[in-house]
Chains A and B, each alone.
Chain A
Amino acid sequence: MGCGCHDCEQLMQPYMDGVLSEEQIREAQEHLERCPGCDKRFRFEAKLRHFVRIAVDEPMPAELKARLAGLRIAT
C-alpha cells in the first residue's frame, strides 16, 4: 500500500510540471525530505515520465522527410 500521504500525492504531478507556487514547492520539498515513501514514489514518477517519452519515440521515416521538402513552394 501507499504511504498514505494524500496531500503530497496531489502535489507530485504539478510539482513535476513546475506549476506550483513557491510556498507549495517548499511544502512539497519539505515533505519529500521527511518521507522516504513519497520521495521514492516521486523519483519513480519522474523516471516513468522519462521512460514513457523514450518508449513511444519513433523516428520520422527519411522518405517522409524528403516528401515534405518536396512540398516547398519557395525556390
Chain B
Amino acid sequence: MSEGAPTAAETRRIAEEARDRVRFEEEALQLSDQVYRVARRLAGSRDEAEDLVQDTYARAFRSWQQYQPGTNLRAWLLRILTNLNIDRGRRSQRTPEQTPLEEGDYYLYNRLESTMPDENPDEERVLERLSQNAVVESLAEVPHDFRDVLVLVDIGEFSYAEAAQILDIPVGTVMSRLHRGRRILKQQLADKAIGVG
C-alpha cells in the first residue's frame, strides 16, 4: 500500500531540486539590469528590448536545468536573448557586405581635431565634440551583425570567446565584425558631429 509514498531519497532529491531552482532564479534576476542594458542596444526600441528580456526570462525559468552551474550565467541568458531576437526575424535581411569603409582607427579623432581652431587640442576637448545623442543614434545605425558584436564586447564587456559563444559564430568572425563595427560607429559619429562631406 505504500507504493505511492516517496522514499527518503526521492524526498531529498525533490527538496534539492527546489532549492537549486530558487537559487538559479535569484541569480538570474540579479543579472537582469545587465541583461537589459545589452538588450536595449541590440533591440531597435525600448518596447522591443522589454519584450525580449521578458521572453528571455520566461524561457530561462522554464529551461533552467539546461544551465550548467559554474558557467557564465549572464552569457547563457544573452544566448537565449540573441536567439529569440533572431527568431523574431529582425535580421531576416542580410547585412550587405559592401558597407562603405575602410577608414583607419584614428579616423574619428583626426576628423574631429581638424575642425577645431587649436593647433594641438587636449583629447578631452576633442571628445567633447560628441554628444550623448550622437552616440545613441550612431550605434543604432550600425548594421545588425556588426552591432551585435559591438554591443556584447564594448557595452556588455563580454570577451571575444563569450561573444562567439553567445552568437554561435567563430572567434575570428567576432574579431573582424568588432573591428569593422567600431569603424562604422566612428564614421557615423564623425558624420553626426561634423556633418557629411
Binding site for B on A (CB under 8 A): 1-2, 6, 9-10, 12-13, 17, 19, 40-41, 43-45, 47-49, 51-53, 55-61, 64-65, 67-69, 71-74
B56 to chain A, nearest CB (A): 9
B154 close to chain A: CB less than 8 A: yes
A71 touches B57 (CB 8 A): yes
The CA of A17 and the CA of B50, in the complex, are separated in Å by 30
B135 touches A56 (CB 8 A): yes
A60 touches B61 (CB 8 A): no
B139 touches A56 (CB 8 A): yes
The CA of A33 and the CA of B114, in the complex, are separated in Å by 24
B53 close to chain A: CB less than 8 A: yes
B195 to chain A, nearest CB (A): 19
Binding site for A on B (CB under 8 A): 18, 21-22, 24-25, 29, 32-33, 36-37, 40-41, 46, 50, 53-54, 57-58, 61-62, 104-106, 108-110, 114, 123-124, 126-127, 130, 132, 135-136, 139, 153-155, 160, 179, 182, 185
Closest to B34 in A: A60
Chain B hits for A6, CB < 8 A = 104
The CA of A17 and the CA of B152, in the complex, are separated in Å by 13
Secondary structure at chain A's binding surface: helix, strand, loop or mixed? helix
Of the listed residues A19, A41, A61, the one surrounded by the most CB atoms of chain B closer than 10 A to its CB is A41
Chain B hits for A65, CB < 8 A = 32-33
Chain A hits for B57, CB < 8 A = 68, 71
Name the one of B24, B25, B105, B109 contacting A10, with C-beta atoms under 8 angstroms. Answer: B105
A9 touches B155 (CB 8 A): no
Chain B hits for A48, CB < 8 A = 108, 127, 130
Of the listed residues B24, B62, B127, the one surrounded by the most CB atoms of chain A closer than 10 A to its CB is B127
